[in-house]
Structure 1
Amino acid sequence: MTKKLTEQKSEEGVTPAMERQDGKLEEEKVFKDPVHRYIHVRDELIWELIGTKEFQRLRRIRQLGTTFLTFHGAEHTRFNHSLGVYEVMRRMVENLEKKGAWDEEERLVCLASALLHDVGHGPFSHSFEKVFHMDHEKWTREIILGDTEINQVLRQMSPDVPEKVADVIAKTYDNKLLVSLISSQIDADRMDYLLRDAFYTGVSYGQFDMERILRVMRPEEDQAVFKHSGMHAVEDYIMSRYQMYWQVYFHPVTRSAEVILSKILHRARELLAENYPFKITPIHFKSMFNGEVTLKDYLKLDESIILYYFQAWEEEDDPILSDLCQRFMNRRLFKYVECNPSKQMLIWPELQQLFKKIGLNPDYYLVIDSSSDLPYDFYRPGEKDERLPIHLLMPDGRLRELSRESDVVEAISGKKRTDHKLYFPEDFLSDQTTFAKEKQKILSLLTNQEG
């Protein structure tokens, strides 16, 4: 029986990365996975990275933030997703290796980058980032390069490996093919999250033929391309992504929960700045609120910590913080109406005044939220956030941009869709025992927003 690597700890608490000359485990490790069936780990480096405390922290961060309040099955974590991205990448590498795409060290850098690409995510992910103006990719690089178990494991392979993995995450690595497999319009990250999120939310939109896409993938100097014969599988992937964004990721109920989550954190920051006497002081947030957060502080945060404070703050004396926390914890979310930006500009001052008159702070109870997505884009050199297009490998060896061959993709290429919602507490407005006239006026103005 192979002795578990986790029992072979060094003095620093991290297993030596290269105990075997070939860097392989004596026995393959397998994770049972509902999406890919099995996730195979054959390299000691990958196994040890999974065992680090920074990677294990991802078990305590949901993949889809507040989406569990809309789709009750969406309880899966960044840990699940990161293993899935690794597995998709492992299959990509296995296919491309046969075509001489790279050497052994490049292979391990690629697999490690796939595994660690989300290790810098904070609790509730993108909602958390917006409040604190943070970038999870920046934190991912800091974890990889900082005083962490992950850094120790990577350095035991080679002193320059942490820098290489960080460069892949930053999209500055010399091997552009490798970067494209992790971050492009069709990559291991997107393939896993579409399939995984569709599975856990119980929808069919995110399904596509990943096996077919991997079979028709071919390496080029700067990116992977796809045989023309596999175009329909790629089309299906693009449309699946489009549908998932509008049916799941931008679901208005999820966005309502995100609005409340954001407002709770804003309120806590405001109260802390005013020296409000918290019953439960947000010690975990202090460095984040004052902009002096350290890597150690950041790694202490996960969703169990956030929810502990939210539950405790239900009993706070501040009525806004207490109400918002009760709403989030008990799923009493804000109502929403479609918002016409041009109309909103005309009535916004009046709405704010009416909210103040009935005792509701519009900064916390009247919120515009906008979502937008560009499902596929062709190459726009020099533009901000330019995207490398997906190329098809034609039978005669030429490369053709996908939308020039696919009528389906051409129909949505370069077309950014934006959706605006106005969120408010309908329950407060429905109680017309006080300020009935003003509340009726508010409801009338909000109803007119939908026109």
Structure 2
Amino acid sequence: MCYKEEQLIEEKVFKDPVHRYVHVKDRVIWDLIATPEFQRLRRIKQLGTSNYTFHGAEHSRFNHSLGVYEIVRRIIYNFQERPYWNNEKRLLCLCAALLHDLGHGPFSHSFEKVFKLDHEQYTQAIILGDTHVNRILKSVEPGFDQAVADVIAKTYEDKLVVSLISSQIDADRMDYLQRDAYFTGVSYGHFDMERILRVMRPMEDQVVIKSTGMHAVEDYIMSRYQMYWQVYFHPVTRSAEVILSKILHRAKFLFETEDFTFKLEPTHFISFFKGKVDLQEYLRLDEGIVSYYFQLWQEEDDEILQDLCERFLNRRLFKYIEFNPNLQMNDWMELYRLFQKAGIDPEYYLVVDSSSDLPYDFYRPGEEEERLPIHLLMPDGSLKELSRHSDIVEAISGKKRTDHKLYFPKDMLEKLKDEHIKTRIKDILYGQGEVENAK
């Protein structure tokens, strides 16, 4: 039997709190899970700094990747013998689902923004580069590694395969919504996935939903909306992200400063500071390494780096107020000058952070293909776009919500000796009816 078709003598299972069990029968999948590149995902948290708000949110990208694989495995099982489904693509779908988040770095999106990285590009680099993962994929058949990379990049020719992993109702979202809800302890992310899986149908270029399952999809859309605003964009989590990003910015600034020398050379960060990161250096950096440096940097000869690291490690986070920089630019400029006069560097201690989300949208020509809408399969065989049949989804379709907050260290302001500056800063921050969040 060739490697592509080889099955384990006995099916392996992972006990999973969301899906109960993750089933593995293919030798290829079992071998991919065992690679160092995939095992590294155990050391990358799924939700970055959300554990500062929801203490249970310690789950990893490893957990999530197995979950996405399991959902795709179950979808494919349901697709057997249905029109438009080519079972030759089964292993390709399973590998792409398992490996879709392989390139995430420590603290994921915060880390990416600071160093201008793209985890999807690194995912493809791991799949196509000199790695254990690549050697396994190449052993399946010629060009299989490139096909997996193309599915994840959304450039693969079979759009039905791509839609299983990346669309407005895909295995990735269905896993992370439920998994993140479970580990954060909230109720928002739960929906009837079993029902959705039963009413999914393969079509020529995407998965569609039988019209009888519309209400389960409505529940899914609303779950996504609630999770973004109640969990992913939680202002306390964002406060931790702000401090994390400022630590990395400060460390990079100090590294580039000729008259500053770190007590211990930040070896693992040097290529990131220089903007020349090779694949092996990228893979060596995980959240354990980053936390180790943060511990060390509390003792560095730079007060800002010391303070930011101590805040992050001990959860002394910035406070925040609602603040729209587009409408309050004069206030922002005055606060910036006042912070400078007070000896508090506004580059690190006065931060506007904006969050925005579009829970569901129609396809718009010229925009990313992920905007392809969800279609319902009607009893007569026709397709109908979801929001044209659902009043609930229509109410939120195409509506982008944006939230702005201003983060600052209240404890530093309380210690200011210049009462005039302190009073003026507080007047701007709280004098217009803004209510400080006490958490």
Q: TM-score range by the shorter chain?
A: over 0.9
Q: Aligned partners of 1:318, 1:449: CA distance in 2, in Å?
A: 35
2:177 & 2:431 partners in 1: Cα distance? 36
Equivalent of 1:187 in 141, 147, 170: 170
2:49 matched to 1:27? Answer: no
Q: Following the alignment from structure 2 to structure 1, what is the Cα–Cα distance between the partners of residues 16 and 284?
A: 27
Q: Give the CA deviation at 1:386.
A: 6.0
Distance 1:280 1:61, change over 3 A: same
1:224 aligns with 2:207: yes
Contact 1:25–1:44 (8 Å) recurs in 2: yes
- Contact preservation (8 Å) 2:84, 2:204: no
Partner SS state of residue 278, structure 1: coil
Q: 2:192 pairs with 209, 227, 248, which one? A: 209
Deviation of the 1:436 alpha carbon: 2.1
1:380 to 351, 361, 364: 364
Structure 2: how far apart are the matches of 1:107 and 1:448? 61
- The aligned residue for residue 5 of structure 1 is none
Q: Report matched runs for 1:267-416 at 5 Å.
A: 267-275=250-258, 276-383=260-367, 387-416=371-400
1:57 matched to 2:52: no
Query: Structure 1 residue 444: deviation in Å?
Result: 1.1
Task: Give me the whole-angstrom Cα distance separating, in 2, the residues matched to 1:31 and 1:232.
Answer: 31
Q: Residues of 1 paired with 2:326 and 2:362: CA distance?
A: 30
In the alignment, structure 1 segments of 5+ residues that lack a partner are: 1-17
Displacement of 1:448 in angstroms is 4.0
C-alpha spacing 1:386/1:170, structure 2 compared with 1 (3 Å): closer
- Matches of 2:432 and 2:280 in 1, distance apart? 46
Alpha-carbon distance, 1:340 to partner: 2.3
Partner of 1:284: helix, strand, or coil? helix
What SS does the aligned partner of 1:41 have? strand
String of CA shifts for 1:375-407, please: whole Å, max 9, x gaps.
000122224566100000111111000000000
Preserved CA contact (<8 Å) 1:366 1:422: yes
TM-score for both structures, normalised by structure 2: 0.96
Q: SS where residue 364 of structure 1 aligns?
A: helix
User: Structure 1 CA distance, aligned partners of 2:4 and 2:295?
Assistant: 51
The Cα offsets for residues 155-180 of structure 1, whole Å up to 9 and x where unpaired, read as: 11112110000000110101100000
1:270-319 CA distance string (max 9 Å, x none) = 00000311112211111111111100100001000000000110111100
Contact 1:380-1:386 within 8 A present in 2 as well = no
| Structure 2 unaligned blocks of 5 or more | 435-439
| Aligned CA-pair RMSD | 1.3
Distance (Å, rounded) in 2 between the aligned partners of 1:441 and 1:327? 25
Q: 1:263 aligns with which of 242, 246, 261?
A: 246
1:158 aligns with 2:141: yes
Give yes or no for the alignment of 1:139 onto 2:122. Answer: yes
| Aligned counterpart in structure 2 of residue 237 of structure 1, from 211, 220, 223 | 220
Letter in 1 for 2:195: R
Distance 2:431 2:380 in 1: 57
2:437 aligns with: none
**Secondary structure of the residue that 2:189 maps to in structure 1?**
coil
8 Å CA contact 1:339, 1:450 repeated in 2? no
Query: Structure 1 residue 443 and structure 2 residue 426: aligned?
Result: yes
Q: Is the 8 A contact 2:3 2:28 kept in 1?
A: no
Moved more, 92-101 or 410-419: 92-101
Shift of 1:431: 2.0
Shift of 1:449: 6.0
Paired positions, count: 433
Work out the CA distance in 1 between the residues paired with 2:203 and 2:370.
19
1:7: which partner in 2? Answer: none
Q: State the one-letter code of the partner of 1:222.
A: D
Q: Note the C-alpha offset of 1:363.
A: 0.3
CA contact (8 A) 1:121 1:140 kept: yes
Deviations 1:59-108 (A, max 9, x none): 00000000011100000000000000000000011111231544454110
Counterpart-to-counterpart distance in 2, 1:228 and 1:419? 34
Answer yes or no: is the 8 Å Cα contact 2:80–2:87 preserved in 1.
no
CA 142–279 in structure 1, closer or farther in 2 if over 3 Å, else same:
same
SS at match of 1:122: coil
Percent identity of equivalent pairs: 69
Match of 1:92 in 2: 75
CA–CA distance in structure 2, aligned partners of residues 76 and 279 of structure 1? 33
Question: Scaled by the length of structure 1, what TM-score is found?
Answer: 0.94
Runs of 4+ off more than 2 Å: 18-22, 100-105, 340-344, 382-386, 448-451
- Aligned partner letter, 1:447: Y
Q: Matched residues in 2 for 1:344 and 1:218: separation?
A: 49
Contact 2:200 2:208 in 1 (8 A): yes
